[in-house]
Chains A and B, each alone.
Chain A
Amino acid sequence: MKNALREIRKHFRVYLALVRMNVMSQMEYRANFVTGILMELGYLVVKILYVVVAFSSGRKIAGFSPDEMLVFIGTFVTATGFYAGLYMMNFFQLSTLVRDGSFDTLLTKPVSLQFMATLRRCDIGIFLVDTVAGVAMTVVGLSRLSGPFEAWRLLGYVFFLLCGSAVGYALYLIPQSLVFRIVNARAIAGISDSFWDFNNVPMVVYDKLGQAIGSYVVPMFVITSFPSLFALGRMSGAQVLWGILAPVVFIAVSRLAWTRGLREYSSASG
């Protein structure tokens, strides 16, 4: 236990050092940094368009008001900050890392390999753009809804948001574990990336089958719809349970996929 805590503290310290290095590297390429933020703002506008549609139609969507839609989409934008700012780049770079041999060097370091390979890179610009905009949208949406917003609800929301972020990490890592077998993992990353946008509308918009698949099979709705449902007080008991279980299950599955892939790597690769 004591050891585990020490390891967690150490990895936290390593992560801080990495964030610092990422920010400094990005400052070296200011054009990339600035235009990267511009691009993320562009994507943000597209996401916000869905809110615009909800408000200017003035209609309820599957029983959810435009303000509630704002909470959903705000949460989606926040989660995108985690995904695009903290994870995605690493997944896209994984195959390069393996091919150019940097992965070999990481293997010899006394630090979690999965941690280093999947969280090494981050883009704080994108992370901030999305989380700030997302939180602002969520707060505006919630404050326009009637009734006080209690502290426990906020805690629960943050809890499910973090659970969702963990599920997102696992869900997008699993296909990437194929990187050790297939050379072109970039295409996989590209395809799984396009699925992310299914969260642009709340899960309630999809039919029963779609909701079931998106909750339990490819649990992308756990990432953004669950926390919103909780904040709006519309999460079912089963969803609460699954919202807590899913991160455990999927982190475990991703860990398994990762170690399997890795075993194959160190016993098969040249």
Chain B
Amino acid sequence: MAEPSRPRVGSRPRVGSRPKVAAKYLESFSLGLRGALEYRANFIFSLLGAVAPVAIQTALWSCLYVPGSGSDTLFGFTYVQMLGYVVVANIVSRLVRTGFEYDLNDDIRTGGLDRFLVKPIDYFGLRLAQFAGAKSAEAAFMGVALAAALAALAAATGFSGGIAAALGFVAALVLAFALNFLVFWCVGLLGFWLTEIGFLFEAARIVIITASGGVFPLSVFGPGVESALKALPFRFTIQFPTEVLCGRVAGRELAAGLALAAAWSAALYVLARLLWGVGVKRFVAVGS
């Protein structure tokens, strides 16, 4: 891998010079990428952490479904579909997981944000580029893990996905990354208003994963709660890509889902900008 050019200390960036600015984002991207490669053990550990819930839930569903019946459905899933859901959702939820909210909060609390506010560089863009870099490395690892898991599942149960589903999944996954980034960006911005965040991010994460269908498909909540949760953007971060890969969402429904996810991303982006604007004003006023 080529060593990215580091900005020299003291060299003033020329305002508005496009290539230089792009280089900064590229550098952030590569920073995230290298970080993910360096700490790949962490990601592999977190994938191993998915083994326990997959085993637990597989055991549970095997008891709940009528044995040997391919047509038996629960919560709108056949047995094979449910197993596919368990495997894919557990991997996807680990893949889209963020962590930058702690850095963001640190930058707000320690005043490290100052450095960025005076530069002709967008802090949001830098963090997004870094996130994208880290995630593209992890996605490569995950691609292998997922393919292996699905092959095993196919051999054991006759589960089948297909190329179209895989392509749709990639599109849905990209949107899931974007949405989850935006969601946790907004959560992280709470640091502007709270002096201590404690375990707030972890509390938010567990609730958001649940509302995204990361534990069980949303249909287990019953029709009322399900439709309420479906009206929120969270399901597009886990349940939607999972169902696309499992072949439960295709064609027109897939297109509509992608469009809705994109619309949610746009809406959250606007919200993020608004929160950022108000927060920075406060940050500068408080002068922390």
Instruction: Give chain A's interface residues, CB within 8 Å of chain B.
Output: 29, 31-36, 38-39, 41-43, 45-46, 49-50, 52-53, 56-57, 59, 61-62, 187, 190-191, 194-195, 197-198, 200-201, 204-207, 210
Residues of B within 8 A of A200 (CB): 56
| Chain B interface, DSSP helix/strand/loop, else mixed | helix
Residues of A within 8 A of B52 (CB): 194-195, 197-198
Residues of B within 8 A of A59 (CB): 64, 74
Closest residue of chain A to B195 (Cβ to Cβ) is: A31
A187 touches B215 (CB 8 A): no
Q: Determine, out of B121-129, B216-224, B237-245, B261-269, the stretch whose residues face the partner at the interface.
A: B216-224
Q: Is B48 an interface residue (CB 8 A)?
A: yes
A31 is contacted by which of B45, B56, B74, B194 (Cβ under 8 Å)? Answer: B194
7 interchain residue pairs of minimum CB distance: A31-B196, A42-B206, A35-B198, A38-B203, A32-B198, A39-B203, A31-B198
Q: Is B59 an interface residue (CB 8 A)?
A: yes
Q: Is B202 an interface residue (CB 8 A)?
A: yes
B59 touches A201 (CB 8 A): yes
Closest residue of chain A to B62 (Cβ to Cβ) is: A205
List 15 other contacts, CB 8 Å, given A31-B195, A59-B64: A29-B196, A31-B196, A32-B198, A39-B202, A41-B203, A42-B202, A45-B207, A49-B216, A52-B220, A56-B75, A57-B74, A190-B45, A191-B45, A195-B52, A205-B63
Residues of B within 8 A of A50 (CB): 60
Of residues A32, A190, A197, A205, which shows the largest number of chain B Cβ atoms within 10 Å of its Cβ? A205
Closest residue of chain B to A45 (Cβ to Cβ) is: B210
Q: Contact size class for B?
A: 20 to 34
Q: Is B277 an interface residue (CB 8 A)?
A: no
Bound-state Cα–Cα, A39 to B55, Å: 24
B199 is contacted by which of A38, A198, A204, A210 (Cβ under 8 Å)? Answer: A38
A198 touches B56 (CB 8 A): yes
Residues of A within 8 A of B205 (CB): 42
A-B CB contact pairs (8 Å), 26 listed: A29-B198, A31-B200, A32-B196, A32-B198, A32-B199, A35-B197, A35-B200, A36-B198, A39-B203, A42-B205, A46-B206, A46-B210, A49-B210, A49-B220, A53-B64, A56-B75, A57-B75, A59-B74, A61-B60, A62-B63, A190-B45, A191-B48, A198-B52, A205-B63, A206-B59, A207-B59
Q: Is B111 an interface residue (CB 8 A)?
A: no
Residues of A within 8 A of B197 (CB): 31, 35
Residues of B within 8 A of A56 (CB): 75, 220, 222
Least CB distance from B201 to A in Å reads 9
Residues of B within 8 A of A32 (CB): 196, 198-199
B60 touches A201 (CB 8 A): yes
Q: Is B49 an interface residue (CB 8 A)?
A: yes
A42 touches B210 (CB 8 A): yes
Of residues A32, A33, A46, which shows the largest number of chain B Cβ atoms within 10 Å of its Cβ? A46
Closest residue of chain A to B57 (Cβ to Cβ) is: A201
Closest residue of chain A to B209 (Cβ to Cβ) is: A46
Q: Is B53 an interface residue (CB 8 A)?
A: yes
B window 19-76: CB within 8 A of A: 45, 48-49, 52-53, 55-56, 59-60, 62-64, 74-75
Bound-state Cα–Cα, A45 to B208, Å: 12
Least CB distance from A82 to B in Å reads 20
A205 touches B60 (CB 8 A): yes
Residues of B within 8 A of A62 (CB): 63
Least CB distance from B65 to A in Å reads 9
Residues of B within 8 A of A201 (CB): 56, 59-60
Residues of B within 8 A of A190 (CB): 45, 49
Given contacts A42-B210, A50-B60, A197-B53, contact A35 B221 (CB under 8 A): no
Bound-state Cα–Cα, A53 to B220, Å: 6
